[in-house]
Structure 1
Amino acid sequence: MKIKEVIVVEGKDDTTAIRRAVDADTIETNGSAVSKETIEKIKLAQEKRGVIVFTDPDYPGERIRHIISQAVPNCKHAFLPKDEAKPKNGKGIGVEHASPESIREALKEAQWMEKEAEEQIRKEDLITAGLIGGGNARERREKLGIKLKIGYTNGKQLYNRLKMFQITREQFLNAMEEVLQEEKR
Structure 2
Amino acid sequence: MKIKEVIVVEGKNDTNVLQSYFECDTIETHGTHLSKKTLELISQAQESRGVIIFTDPDYPGDMIRKNINDSIKNCKNAFIEKEKSKTSKKVGVEHANKQDLEEALLNCVTFEDYHQSDLTMQDFFDLKLNGNEESSALRKIIGKELKIGESNAKTLLKRCQMIGITRKDLMTLIEKNKK
Residues 54-65 of structure 1: pairs in structure 2 closer than 5 A: 54-65=54-65
Q: Deviations over 1:43-67 (max 9, x none)?
A: 0000100000000111000000011
Letter paired with 1:93:
V
* Structure 1 residue 52 corresponds to structure 2 residue 52: yes
Distance in structure 2 (CA, Å) of the matches to 1:43 and 1:77: 15
Distance apart, 1:78 and its partner CA: 0.5
Letter paired with 1:128:
D
Q: Deviations over 1:9-59 (max 9, x none)?
A: 000111112113321100000010111110010000001000000001110
Answer 1 or 2: which has greater strand percent.
Answer: 2
Corresponding residue for residue 80 of structure 1: 80
Structure 1: stretches of 5+ with no match in the other structure: none
Q: Match of 1:5, SS? A: strand
Coordinate RMSD, CA, aligned: 1.2
Distance in structure 1 (CA, Å) of the matches to 2:106 and 2:166: 20
Distance apart, 1:179 and its partner CA: 2.9
Distance apart, 1:178 and its partner CA: 2.7
Using structure 2 for the length normalisation, give the TM-score. 0.95
Corresponding residue for residue 171 of structure 2: 173
Distance in structure 2 (CA, Å) of the matches to 1:118 and 1:171: 12
Corresponding residue for residue 138 of structure 1: 136
Letter paired with 1:137:
S
**8 Å Cα contact 2:123-2:167 kept in structure 1:** no
Distance apart, 1:142 and its partner CA: 1.0
Say if 1:171 and 1:22 are closer, same or farther in 2 by CA, change over 3 A.
Answer: farther
Distance apart, 1:171 and its partner CA: 3.0
* Structure 1 residue 11 corresponds to structure 2 residue 8: no
Distance in structure 1 (CA, Å) of the matches to 2:29 and 2:167: 35
- Could you tell which deviates more after superposition, 101-110 or 149-158? 149-158
Distance apart, 1:170 and its partner CA: 4.0
* Structure 1 residue 35 corresponds to structure 2 residue 49: no
Distance apart, 1:177 and its partner CA: 1.6
**8 Å Cα contact 1:56-1:95 kept in structure 2:** yes
Structure 2: stretches of 5+ with no match in the other structure: none
Alignment length (residue pairs): 179
Distance in structure 2 (CA, Å) of the matches to 1:63 and 1:122: 23
